Amino acid sequence: MMTIPRPAANEFDAFYQGYVGKISDAGPLALLRDQVAVFRQLRGLGEAVGDHRYAEGKWSVKELIGHLADTERVFAYRLLRIARADKTPLAGFDENAWAAVAPHGRRLLGDVVDELIGVRMATITLVESLDDTALANAGVANNCPVSGRAICWIIPGHAQHHLAILAERYGVGIL
């Protein structure tokens, strides 16, 4: 299995430290793969759980899972552009604005989970295709410098963050 060294602090914005810090020194690739099994468990939660919100105005479980898919697509796109040495600054996005118009809450839970799994499988394939040069490439995303290596750590860290929220705030204990 390929090893992706932990990124240095100057390879990503401090905002992402919480995500990077959620990953063991074994690296992100094992967690990217392991999380697929966790995502599959989400399929069995049922529609009532999928529609649950832990508080007024918060995302439903389905909307949170959809957010994971949307965000992973954005991060994987950033990774692809940076890995290919594209120096064009990449825009940020407003996840709350996206969630307000995304269809996730109107879809079946299993369909939203399947979308997330499909996105993850594509992410794994992309990460496995990268060599040390591509991982070391750096660019700018959301007005902040970031390396390909850092994005590889941010993606599963972001998912781990939200899986913990599912357990802690929604009572969905699948970890």
Digit-coded pLDDT (tens) for 141-169: 999 999 999 999 999 999 999 999 999 99
Give pLDDT, residue 1: 65
The radius of gyration of the chain from alpha carbons, rounded to an integer in Å, stands at 16
Contacts by 128-137 with C-beta closer than 8 Å and gap 24+?
128/2, 128/29, 130/79, 130/83, 134/83, 134/84, 135/4, 135/83, 137/82, 137/83, 137/84, 137/85
Contact 12, 150 (CB under 8 A): yes
CA distance 70 to 112: 11
CA distance 99 to 13: 23
- Put simply, whether the predicted model's pTM sits higher than 0.85 gets the answer yes
Q: What is the mean pLDDT of the chain?
A: 96
Residues of the chain falling short of pLDDT 70: 1, 175
Locate the domains of the chain by residue range: 39-170
CATH architecture of 39-170: Up-down Bundle (1.20)
